[in-house]
């Protein structure tokens, strides 16, 4: 854990130091140690610092949401991006923009509503005729669902040029050019979600032993499930509202966290907190450097490192049941 925290601090520092522009690590270090450099000051504190903070928050939200969703679906492949939760959020935002909302005011609550709808849809499919009993079938249903939503979103964007212009850069998933205000506006819902997560961590651990055991221990499985779904919707909706749909983070982070923490969901959740930002920030740094001076969408990089993990999980001889 200490190691992970150290790594997180180091990555955040690197994120401040490295970028696509002309301010290299040398000048940034000089600035941090007290030199006067107005250009570097602007770039580091006005551009890179908010971006780093947003990366940390988004990473935490997506990682924790992934772990929660996997625990409640009892499925190591359940992931907000793969199951269509992010696609639901993106679709809701596009729809709201076409119906006349303006991007600045509405986005977060709408995205959270869309994420909630996506979540409920997929989980009800999962409970339908035992699709959820087969983890891989659930993923397939999710992939079909998010593919459908993604093409509906692009249909809407084709139809309405104004909306397309407003969210073209948002819909591919990126941390570039987000302001600190965006972050402040999602903080309340993030706080609410964190409190709920703290409250339901214990019942969730009991639920992992099976529905009957959980009821026997005095918990209400259905109530817990709905709370988890609400939490996931809040977290993923907020993260999507700031950074756009980013896939595979919610798959990789709990996967790694479980390797550190073992089967206990409470420990896994704590480990997700540093690992999520680690992944998002590293991917973000790479996305700035790799095609400098332009930038790569963050979602591309997370897909590049997430898809192999997906294949690895699928290839495992016995699929780990949660």
Partner 1 sequence: MKPTPVRSSVLNAASARPNRIPIAPPQGYWRLAWRSRHGDQSVLLERRAVTVNVGLLGAFLLASVLYLSLGSVNVAPMAVLHALFGKADVMANFVVQELRLPRLAAAACTGAAFALAGILMQTLARNRLATPGIIGIDNGATAFAVASIVGIGVSIAPPAMALAGATTAAVLTFGLAAGSGTQGYRFIVAGIGVGAVFGAVTQLLLARVAIDTANAAYPWTVGSLNARPSGALQLLILGLVLGLITALMLARSLTLLRFKDATASGLGINVKRRRLEVLLLSVALTGLAVAVAGPVGMVGLIGPEIARSLSSSRGVPITAAALAGALVMVLADLAGRTLLAPIEIPVGIVTAVVGGPWLLWILMRPQRSFT
Residues contributing to the site for partner 1 (CB under 8 A): 77, 125, 128-129, 131, 134, 136-137, 139-141, 143-145, 147-148, 150-152, 154-155, 158-159, 172, 247-248, 291, 294-297, 299-301, 303-304, 306-308, 310-311, 314-315, 317
Please say which residue, 80 or 274, places its beta carbon nearer to partner 1: 80
Please say which residue, 45 or 128, places its beta carbon nearer to partner 1: 128
User: What DSSP string describes 218-259?
Assistant: T--HHHHHHHHHHHHHHHHHHHHHHH----SHHHHHHHHHHH
Task: Please state the closest distance from residue 47 (CB atom) to partner 1, in A.
Answer: 19
What span, in angstroms and rounded, lies between the C-alpha atoms of 155 and 296? 24
Task: Please state the closest distance from residue 45 (CB atom) to partner 1, in A.
Answer: 27
Task: Please state the closest distance from residue 180 (CB atom) to partner 1, in A.
Answer: 26
Q: Which residues in 66-75 are b (16+ Cβ under 10 Å) and which e?
A: bbbbbbbbbb
Token output for 155:
């249909």
Please say which residue, 212 or 318, places its beta carbon nearer to partner 1: 318
Task: Please state the closest distance from residue 148 (CB atom) to partner 1, in A.
Answer: 3
Task: Please state the closest distance from residue 80 (CB atom) to partner 1, in A.
Answer: 15
Other CB atoms closer than 10 Å to residue 130's CB: what's the count?
9
Please say which residue, 31 or 141, places its beta carbon nearer to partner 1: 141
CA neighbor of 297 nearest in space, from 174, 196, 183, 201:
174
What span, in angstroms and rounded, lies between the C-alpha atoms of 75 and 67? 10
Classify residue 111 by burial, with Cβ atoms within 10 Å: 0-12, 13-18, 19+: buried
What span, in angstroms and rounded, lies between the C-alpha atoms of 174 and 281? 11
Residue with tokens 């990126």: 174
Please say which residue, 72 or 125, places its beta carbon nearer to partner 1: 125
Task: Please state the closest distance from residue 65 (CB atom) to partner 1, in A.
Answer: 19
Please say which residue, 190 or 313, places its beta carbon nearer to partner 1: 313
């Amino acid at each position: 854990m200490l190691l992970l925290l150290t790594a997180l601090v180091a990555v955040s520092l690197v994120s401040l130091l490295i970028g696509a522009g002309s301010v290299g690590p040398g000048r940034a270090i000089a600035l941090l140690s007290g030199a006067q450099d107005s250009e570097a000051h602007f770039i580091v504190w006005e551009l890179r610092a908010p971006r780093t903070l947003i990366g940390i928050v988004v990473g935490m939200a997506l990682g924790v949401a992934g772990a929660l969703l996997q625990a409640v679906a009892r499925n190591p492949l359940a992931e907000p991006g793969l199951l269509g939760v992010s696609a639901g959020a993106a679709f809701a935002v596009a729809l709201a923009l076409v119906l006349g909302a303006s991007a600045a005011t509405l986005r977060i609550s709408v995205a959270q509503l869309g994420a909630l709808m996506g979540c409920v849809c997929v989980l009800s499919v999962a409970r339908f005729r035992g699709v959820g009993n087969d983890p891989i079938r659930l993923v397939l249903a999710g992939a079909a669902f998010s593919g459908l939503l993604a093409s509906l979103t692009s249909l809407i964007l084709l139809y309405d040029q104004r909306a397309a212009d407003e969210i073209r850069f948002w819909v591919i998933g990126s941390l570039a050019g987000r302001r600190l205000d965006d972050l402040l506006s999602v903080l309340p819902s993030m706080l609410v979600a964190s409190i709920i997560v703290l409250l339901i961590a214990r019942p969730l651990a009991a639920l992992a032993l099976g529905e009957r055991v959980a009821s026997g221990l005095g918990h209400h499985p259905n109530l817990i499930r709905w709370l988890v779904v609400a939490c996931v919707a809040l977290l993923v909706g907020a993260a999507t509202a700031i950074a756009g749909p980013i896939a595979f983070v919610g798959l990789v982070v709990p996967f790694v966290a479980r390797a550190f923490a073992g089967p206990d969901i409470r420990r896994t959740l704590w480990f997700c907190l540093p690992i999520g930002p680690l992944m998002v920030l590293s991917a973000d740094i790479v996305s700035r450097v790799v095609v400098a001076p332009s930038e790569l969408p963050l979602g591309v990089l997370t897909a590049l490192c997430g898809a192999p993990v997906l294949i690895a999980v699928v290839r495992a001889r016995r699929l780990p049941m949660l």
